Copies of this chain bind each other. A is one copy, B any other.
């Protein structure tokens, strides 16, 4: 009986692909049985590489977070302000469309206390830090950055989530609606900076 030559990474990769193939509910529908069948292995064998089904889901989330961070960084490099924010939003939506299951995994919140979730927490924090960095270009006061980050995450995340779970009816015009939302966020974050910055000469009343 030849050996399958699995590894933890291989198992996670198989799971990530299965999860994407299952669309928006792919993560919920993930089972060890399917992973084992795809890998050509008996289900209990997976426990040599992964702690549990929940553990596997967490690792899929990690992969997704890393990919999303990498793509976001690539998309925003060399850009600043509204330009960077738009690129960031576009990247997130594109990632969700290309990887619906993985994107659902991004939503999995790590346990704030569990030590085995430390890597997950760090990875999630990296994405948030990236958003914060992009928003730095808007000259926000320090204590408003967190509000802006949360607003942007909420808007983009909410749109993408609704879109890929079928929450919007007409499939047409979705691109335009997304642009409208992103414009709102850009304007909102800009206003958040202006509200507390001293007026420039040409803005003087």
Contacts and interface: CB of A to CB of B under 8 A. Distances in A.
B153 A155 contact: no
7 contacts: A109-B165, A147-B173, A150-B168, A154-B154, A154-B155, A184-B184, A185-B188
A166 interface: yes
A148 interface: yes
- Copies of this chain in the oligomer: 2
A155 B146 CA distance: 16
Interface of A: 28, 107, 109, 112, 144, 146-148, 150-151, 153-159, 161-162, 165-170, 173, 176-177, 180-181, 183-185, 187-189, 191-192
Given A157-B161, A161-B158, A162-B153, A187 B177 contact: no
